[in-house]
Amino acid sequence: MKKNKYLQKNKELDEIIDDEKAALYRTGKMKWGGRAACGFHRIEINDLSVKSGNTVILDKVSLSIYCGKLTVIIGKNGGGKSTLIKSILGERAYDGSIVFRDIKNNTVSRLKVGYVPQKLDLEPNMPLSVYDMAAGYISRIPVFLRKDKNLYDRIKTRLEMFDAGNLIDKRVCDLSGGELQRVLLTIACTPVPNLLLLDEPVSGIDKNGRELFYKILADLKKSYDLSIILVSHDLDLMAQYADDVVLVDKTVTAKGTPEEVMASEAFKQTFLVNSLKG
């Protein structure tokens, strides 16, 4: 049973990567191959509420997120953004439902989530290479025992797509903020999830790093059948790259295109008042 699962997992990885390689060779110019977004997949969050004791942290949040879109969630600190992410990840108990639906056939399937955290809390001087970290998360070949040549090549190919191929033998603790985020993004996208969840991924990264990161996300969105949710403080880049913006303050106080949200009363109240105070 266990062995079958192991084989299956690796086979899945093989197929994805071969598919991509094939597409690369076929077109010659496309950076990534893969199944592009169909527009029929939707993640529905219905009346999601979270309480901590008697305090209501999230109150009836309802959202639909379509594949092929980059949805940015903004809001002030303590407004429930992190709790929303934890609920989607299944780490926090909630009322309501989160459903992954194919609206073409109206079928529901299990949601595969790829997660990129804000940062890792590694011990300093940790003897862990990028290969170790990636192989540990995506395969069952014991990382401490040997370096598997095939797996190494596959991970390297994968990292190259995210501009991180040269990092494979570096120690994770020696990476810069931007490099680490690209590595974590590679891991989150191998195998390709239905939903990519990014938690303030660009905080503490310089401007060039941030722009590169958003460009990669834009490519990713075009090339794969997945939805992206990004939690961010970065309003400028949000305006440039987001398809949809959701303002969360206990509940959804505004949603729509970046322009629509930025013109809303709720947005002004949350950010303009804050910046005047600050």
Partner 1 sequence: MGFLDYAFMKNALVAILLITPMFGIMGTMVVNNRMAFFSDALGHSAFTGMAIGLLLGISDKDLSMVIFAIVFAILLNYIKYKNVASADTVISVFSSLSVAVGLAILSRNGNFSKYSVMLVGDILNVTVTDIVKLALALTATIVVWIFCYNGLSGIGINKSIAKSKGIPVILYENIFACLVAIVVMLTVRMAGILIINALLILPAAAARNISGNAREYHLFSCVGSIFSGLTGLILSFYLDVAAGPMIAIVASVLFFLTFAVREVGRK
Binding site for partner 1 (CB under 8 A): 2, 86, 89-91, 113-115, 117, 120-123, 125-129, 131-133, 135-147, 169, 171-172, 184, 187-188, 193, 197
The least distance separating partner 1 from the CB of residue 12, rounded to whole angstroms, comes to: 12
- Considering beta carbons, is residue 40 or 152 the nearer one to partner 1? 152
- Considering beta carbons, is residue 127 or 278 the nearer one to partner 1? 127
- Considering beta carbons, is residue 8 or 27 the nearer one to partner 1? 8
The least distance separating partner 1 from the CB of residue 9, rounded to whole angstroms, comes to: 9
Distance, in Å, from the CA atom of 96 to the CA atom of 89, rounded to the nearest integer, reads 14
The least distance separating partner 1 from the CB of residue 78, rounded to whole angstroms, comes to: 18
The least distance separating partner 1 from the CB of residue 117, rounded to whole angstroms, comes to: 5
3-class SS string, 146-182:
CCCHHHHHHHHHHHHHCCCHHHCCCEHHHCCHHHHHH
Residue 79 and residue 96 in contact, taking contact as beta carbons nearer than 8 Å: no
- Considering beta carbons, is residue 70 or 143 the nearer one to partner 1? 143
Distance, in Å, from the CA atom of 48 to the CA atom of 114, rounded to the nearest integer, reads 20
The least distance separating partner 1 from the CB of residue 186, rounded to whole angstroms, comes to: 12
The burial class, CB within 10 Å (0-12 / 13-18 / 19+), for 128 is middle
- Considering beta carbons, is residue 128 or 239 the nearer one to partner 1? 128
Q: How far is CA 71 from CA 24, 30, 227, 244, 248, in A?
A: 28, 24, 8, 5, 12
The least distance separating partner 1 from the CB of residue 171, rounded to whole angstroms, comes to: 6
Residue 34 and residue 192 in contact, taking contact as beta carbons nearer than 8 Å: yes
The DSSP line for 79-138 is SSHHHHHHHHHT-S--EEEEEEEETTTTEEEPPPEEEE-S---PPTT---BHHHHHHHHH
The least distance separating partner 1 from the CB of residue 143, rounded to whole angstroms, comes to: 5
Kindly report the backbone phi and psi dihedral angles of residue 136, in degrees, each rounded to the nearest multiple of 5, phi listed first. Answer: -60, -35
- Considering beta carbons, is residue 9 or 222 the nearer one to partner 1? 9
158: Cα separation from own chain's centroid = 16
- Considering beta carbons, is residue 115 or 271 the nearer one to partner 1? 115
Q: Phi/psi class of residue 96: alpha, beta or left (left: φ > 0; alpha: ψ in -120 to 50)?
A: left
